[in-house]
Amino acid sequence: MNQSMVRIAGRVLVAVAGLMLSASSARAQQLIFSPFHNNGIYALGDTVGWNVTVAPGSALLGGTYSYRITKNNLELVKAGSFQLTGGKATIETSYAEPAMLYVTVDYQAPPPAPGPTFASIRQMDATLKALLAQANPELKSLFDKYPNYGLIRPAFPSLASFEEHRVATLGAALAPLAMQPVVKCPTDFDSFWKSQLAALKKVPIHPVLTPVVDTHSGVKLYAVKLESVGSHVQGYLAAPARPGKFPALVIYQYAGVYALNPSTATNRASEGWLTFDVDSHDLPPSQGSGVPGDYAHIGDHGRETSYFLKMYLRDTRALDYIESRPDWDGKTIVVMGTSMGGQQSLVTAGLNPGRITAVIVNEPSGADSNGDLHGRRSGYPNWNWNDPQVMQTALYFDTVNFARRITAPSLVAMGFIDTAAPPAGIWTEFDEIQGPKEAVPMIESAHNNLTPQHQGAFLQRSEEVLATIVHGGTFMPDEAWKTYQTNGVPAGRSGPAR
């Protein structure tokens, strides 16, 4: 009897296991997408694409892969599909205008293998009950009392197990140095900001420094509060605990409302920087609440009421304070930030030409505020493109309009599959920068917090630049990017691989 039961149950389990395997094995298959140009950058007229292969040691599956290629993550350029029956495939397209191409690849598993029918399961259940009742007659009366109760209950996978799922997101730049702003800068942009900076200049700084106990040796740490226009600049200031005058590093923070980490300032101070880590809000740096989460949309119907007005003015006030300190070396101020911190860095450099030594930004947000109306998917701060008044306000805070006023040497990193700070806008503002500049394309990177494993190029290069400046050297941007527009491959690097 026991052997019969085992055989019956085994047949059910084998059938069900086959169904589950077909649903889960797709997720085990690993694909490699090799771009035709290893830096992901192409010239107009080039064929843009990827060779697709199965990773070594990964099983070759049936099923179909579908892909969609969009221009600037908004307008469809091409859709298609492929199968990996031979272990290889190709995705390719061409496009006649400068653009970022954004590609999504999804897998559709083949139909599941036929499993046991409900009729066969009922038959197996009846056979099992008969065997059990033969060995124990008392069970027969119980089975007769509950005829619909089944001893065999196979767990069939849900239909969702066989639906499409994302296997890759890819990005490519097509003639990125030819990207142009989608909207003209307002004619009164400069006069508006000139008047705002004049108002800021009339406000005394009145710095208030509160010593903060920190375990970092050789460093002094303070919580800082400064007067600004209608608000206060707050943050952490850290300086080497030794006599001297030091180069200044001003760090602006990414989006959100959170307490600052003192080590952001103290670690840099231990390297020799006079470091000011500026909170994006009028909050003590140790406080992580007190501002609405949707602050970016506060006052967005007018340039005088937008939340970003006071934020940007606070960013410049941080420079005013650094320049007033006796331990500043009198010549060096580097501004630095990621995401909204990069946004603030670009704005500050644009508002203060001649005061900034270098700009270092990683995937800065804030560009292409009107992009959704002109063929480009916009990112943070996600201005409401359905409201014309908001769209007009946004232009006064769009980083593209500040970038054209930047004269300082700049290091700018962009993630090719970033949707929070889309690369089309970053390339556009990069093109607008008037000073010497260096691009750091990261072809596998989404936003920094989503794909930290693909941030190595920026982290390495930014540390090299900071080390050069803090030791008295000059940041000389690597302008190999100038060759991108002609052949898609920076000088001294490998060419297309087909």
Fill in the DSSP letter of residue 488.
Answer: S
CA–CA separation, 468 vs 463, rounded Å?
A: 9
- Region for residue 319 given its phi and psi (left: phi exceeds 0; alpha: psi -120 to 50; beta: otherwise): alpha
The answer to whether the beta carbons of residues 284 and 260 sit under 8 Å apart is no
88-93 β-sheet, strand order: 31-35, 48-54, 88-93
Which domains are delineated in the chain? 14-112+157-174 (2.60.40.1930), 178-487 (3.40.50.1820)
How many Cβ atoms from other residues are within 10 Å of residue 261's Cβ?
Answer: 12
Greater confidence, 17 or 37? Answer: 37
Greater confidence, 12 or 279? Answer: 279
Q: Whose CA is closest to 250, among 325, 183, 175, 157?
A: 325
How long, in residues, is the chain? 498
| Mean pLDDT calculated for residue range 193-222 | 96
Report pLDDT digits (tens) over 146-167: 676 677 655 444 433 444 589 9
In terms of Cβ atoms closer than 10 Å to its own Cβ (0-12, 13-18, 19+), residue 29 is: middle
The answer to whether the beta carbons of residues 172 and 42 sit under 8 Å apart is yes
Helix, strand or coil for residue 46?
coil
Query: Angle, to 10 degrees, between the axis of helix 307-324 and the axis of helix 340-351?
Result: 60
**pLDDT classification of 481: cutoffs 50, 70, 90:** low
Helices (H), 68-178: 118-135, 137-145
| Mean pLDDT calculated for residue range 100-104 | 97
Give the pLDDT of residue 127: 83
CA–CA separation, 293 vs 40, rounded Å?
A: 36
Residues 6+ apart with CB under 8 A from 266: 214, 216, 219, 221, 236, 238, 275
**pLDDT classification of 407: cutoffs 50, 70, 90:** very high
Report pLDDT digits (tens) over 59-81: 777 789 999 999 999 999 999 99
